[in-house]
Amino acid sequence: MNITVLGAGAMGSLFGGLLGETGALVTLIDVNDAHLEAICSDGLRLETDHGDRRVAGLRALRPEAATSAADLLIVFTKSMHTTAALAGVKHLIGENTRVLSLQNGLGNVEKIQEFVPIERILIGMTTWPADMVAPGHVRSHGEGAIKLWSANGAQCASIDDCVTALNAAGLHCTADPTVWVSIWEKVAFNAALNSICAVTGCTVDQLDLVPDGREIALSVAREVIAVAQATGVAADAERPVRNIEHAIAHHRGHKPSMLQDVQAGRPTEVEGINGAVVAAGTRVGVRAPCTELMLTLVRLIERRQRA
C-alpha cells in the first residue's frame, strides 16, 4: 500500500514511522522544513516502548515536491490546517485514494469532503499519544488504540485494508461502526481538559488545586455528551468522566496540546473541539454554557496573541 501522511508532526511521524517499519511505502508530507531535512538526512528517530531507533526509507517531502497518488492518505495536521493542507496535495488524490482522519475534534469529515467524495473517507479516533521532541525526532510512550469506520457508515473493503495495515504496524486498530461514540467521548475529554488548562495555565493535575476545578471539567464533559446524545450519538458521560478523573489524579505535570499551543503563541484546535460542540448544540437546541465560556476565553487569548 502506498501510504501518504499529510501533516508529519508528532502523530503523523509516529504513524508514518511505524507503518514504514512494516515495509509499507510511506511518504511524509509537511511544511516544517527542519523536520523534513532531519528525516531525509538521518532517518526518523522514533522513541517508543519498543526502543529508540531510526527509521530509514521514509520519503519526507513538501507538498509541492510529492508526485505519486496515494492509496491511503492519512490526515494528521491540526484541524485548523486541514483545508489548506489538503488543498496543497490535491494532485496526490487520485480516483482510488482513500482518506483517513484520526484527528481530534469534530468537522473533519466535512473539511475532507471538499476534496474527496464521502464514500472514500474513513474516520476514527486514536488514543495513541505522541510528542515532537526535536526536528526528525518523535516520542510516544504507553499503549494506544484506534477505532475507525467509513464516514458514510457503509461497510466497505477499504475499512479492512486500513485496519490490516495499521495492525501490522502494531497500532491496535479495530473496525467499529459505532466510532462516533468514541469520537464524541474523546471530544468531551478534550473540550474539558484542553480548554481549561489553556485558559488557566494549569497542568492537568493542577485542576485539583481547588475543588471546583474538577467540577468545571466534569460539567464541560457532561454538556458535550448531552449535545452528542441530542444529535443521535449514543455517547455516555461515564467514560469521559472516569478518564478526566484519572487524568487529574495521575497525569502529573501534563500540559495538554491546547496549553502548549497557547504558550507557544500558536493557534489552537479550540474551534474544532469546543467550537464545534457549541455549534452542534445550537443546531439541536441544547445549550452548553461551560463549554461556550471556555471557547470564548480561548478565543480571547488567541485574538490577543494575534494582535
What's the burial of 100, exposed, middle or buried (CB within 10 Å: 0-12/13-18/19+)? buried
Cα separation of 244 and 50, whole Å?
28
Question: Is the C-alpha dihedral spanning 295, 301, 304, 305 positive or negative?
Answer: negative
CB of 129 or CB of 170, closer to ligand NAD = 129
Closest approach of ligand NAD to the CB of residue 272, in Å: 7
Say if residues 60 and 4 touch (Cβ distance below 8 Å): no
Closest approach of ligand NAD to the CB of residue 194, in Å: 9
Q: Which three cell numbers stand for residue 31?
A: 511544511
Closest approach of ligand NAD to the CB of residue 265, in Å: 14
CB of 158 or CB of 257, closer to ligand NAD = 257
CB of 34 or CB of 210, closer to ligand NAD = 34
Closest approach of ligand NAD to the CB of residue 287, in Å: 25
> In sequence order, which ranges of 201-274 are alpha helices (DSSP H)?
211-230, 238-250, 257-263
CB atoms within 10 A of CB 113: 14
Closest approach of ligand NAD to the CB of residue 253, in Å: 15
Say if residues 259 and 298 touch (Cβ distance below 8 Å): no
Closest approach of ligand NAD to the CB of residue 210, in Å: 27
Say if residues 44 and 15 touch (Cβ distance below 8 Å): no
CB of 76 or CB of 184, closer to ligand NAD = 76
φ, ψ of residue 98 to 5 degrees: the values are: -100, 145
**What residue number has its CB nearest to ligand NAD?**
9
CB of 7 or CB of 240, closer to ligand NAD = 7
What's the burial of 22, exposed, middle or buried (CB within 10 Å: 0-12/13-18/19+)? middle
CB of 256 or CB of 281, closer to ligand NAD = 256
Question: Is the C-alpha dihedral spanning 21, 38, 128, 165 positive or negative?
Answer: negative
Closest approach of ligand NAD to the CB of residue 173, in Å: 14
CB of 227 or CB of 270, closer to ligand NAD = 270
Chain residues binding ligand NAD by CB under 6 A are 6-12, 29-32, 63, 76-79, 81, 84-85, 88, 103-104, 126, 129-130, 132, 257, 269
Say if residues 73 and 93 touch (Cβ distance below 8 Å): yes
Say if residues 226 and 286 touch (Cβ distance below 8 Å): yes
CB of 85 or CB of 204, closer to ligand NAD = 85
Closest approach of ligand NAD to the CB of residue 93, in Å: 14
